[in-house]
Amino acid sequence: MKEFDAIVIGSGQAGTPLARKLAQSGWKTAIIEKRLVGGTCVNDGCTPTKALVASAKLAYMAGRSADLGIDIPKFEVNFKAVMARKAAIVKRSHDGSVKGLEDTKNLTLVYGTAKFTDDHTLYIDGNDGSFENYTAKHIFINTGESPVIPDIEGVTDIDYLTSTSILELEEVPEHLLIVGGGYIGLEFAQMYSRFGAKVTLLEHGDRLLPKEDTDVCEVVSEFFKEDGIEVFTEVKVTKFENISNQKIRVTADHKGKINTYTCSHVLLASGRKPQTENLGLENTGIKCDEKGHIQVNEFLETSVKNVYALGDVKGGPAFTHISYNDFVVVSTNLLNKGKLSIKDRMVPYCMFVDPQLGRIGITETQAIEAKLDYVVAKLPMAHVARAIETGQTRGFMKAVVDKKTKQILGATIIGEQGGEIMSILQMAMMGKITYEEIRYTIFAHPLYAESLNNLFMSLD
């Protein structure tokens, strides 16, 4: 039995900084990683996909260069070079994370699979063939989530793609069919369309982005249509079949009508599930919800004292920055006797379609449901000077404001640099700055930020 002060399971965006912080504070710490240090964000999520989004954006801009008076008669997507660039960026981030762990005193990095045998004991099946038992007073679970493979007839007969395996393609698909219209599906749809693939997206719900306001869904759907991406909603996929010439036939029920689609590749983007099935939680007092997410209190402690869950595995918003904030909450409370809580914290996020969708706070729909006394400020990007000058006029800015206090309750920005503009409004919300103060603030001309003057001018 190897004894530690702390054991961290999983080296994601909460686990890695937490393990280092604890070790640097004098705790004898072990971090267990079954696959790749850095977790989904570094290896299969944010880092590789945003590198690819950048390449796809350049292809898009080259294709419409004539709009800005530049003649590019022909260009090619060198997909091998695109993927090599992505791989190099991932390697740099991954190797940096590994070095950071290996160079930290009091910290042991172990590659293997961890399974609870009781509340504070783990059986470690090492990737090198070793088998050991570890124990610690404090254990932190940061195992994340993995793609859901829907139970559809024929799914195991086809060579489907997930958000992980699609990052290793060696050529652009001739026709990519995506099952699922969430954030992951939408980002890959636009990306591969810009690389030259025909893209069809099938969404089970009645519209894309069900957590956003209707006008947000409408504008995103419109620019997908403009980009030549086929989007079908209220579609239930019922069957997959391999057919001749390396083609896949997809059968689906579309509002009661049976349709078939023939494609070269299928991406399953039907959501993600917590990686808790093989943790041996049945040997502990740790409780999960019906979907398998570990239940925690506002301080991220599970139903077992001194055992915590951080990041996507606990449910809630599945974002890298939330995972990192979980680390901040736990480390501050344990090491500095803090009282930080995840209750009522702000949850900003950005979807990296082009133009970006940045969100903070409540939507107009939520304001209506809560029966708040509110007003909405809205400004089309086509009325933003910087957007006109750069030829990036798709989308809009929208803010929900408390009518009495004039505080900003939430904002949605769909536009070039939408996430950055959203972050300005987040800071305003944190600082209790009223919309009127922003309305008359001097911003440098002609930044996108300057258009916040005009956004709140609409409330005059």
**Any idea which residues carry the catalytic annotation?**
445
Yes or no: say if 44 and 167 are a contact pair by the CB < 8 Å rule.
Answer: yes
Task: Match 């940061």 to its residue by tokens.
Answer: 142
Measured in degrees and rounded to the nearest 5, phi and psi for residue 386 equal: -60, -40
Strand partners, 199: 176
Task: Match 């026709």 to its residue by tokens.
Answer: 175
Q: Nearest-CA neighbor of 256 among 240, 288, 234? A: 234
Task: Match 């945003």 to its residue by tokens.
Answer: 50
Q: Nearest-CA neighbor of 398 among 451, 355, 437, 445? A: 451
User: How far is 19 from 40, CA to CA, in rounded Å?
Assistant: 17
Measured in degrees and rounded to the nearest 5, phi and psi for residue 262 equal: -115, 130
Q: What angle in degrees, to the nearest 10, is found between the helix axes of 15-24 and 320-336?
A: 20
User: How far is 165 from 127, CA to CA, in rounded Å?
Assistant: 21
Q: Nearest-CA neighbor of 118 among 145, 143, 130, 136? A: 136
Yes or no: say if 310 and 318 are a contact pair by the CB < 8 Å rule.
Answer: no
User: How far is 135 from 117, CA to CA, in rounded Å?
Assistant: 10
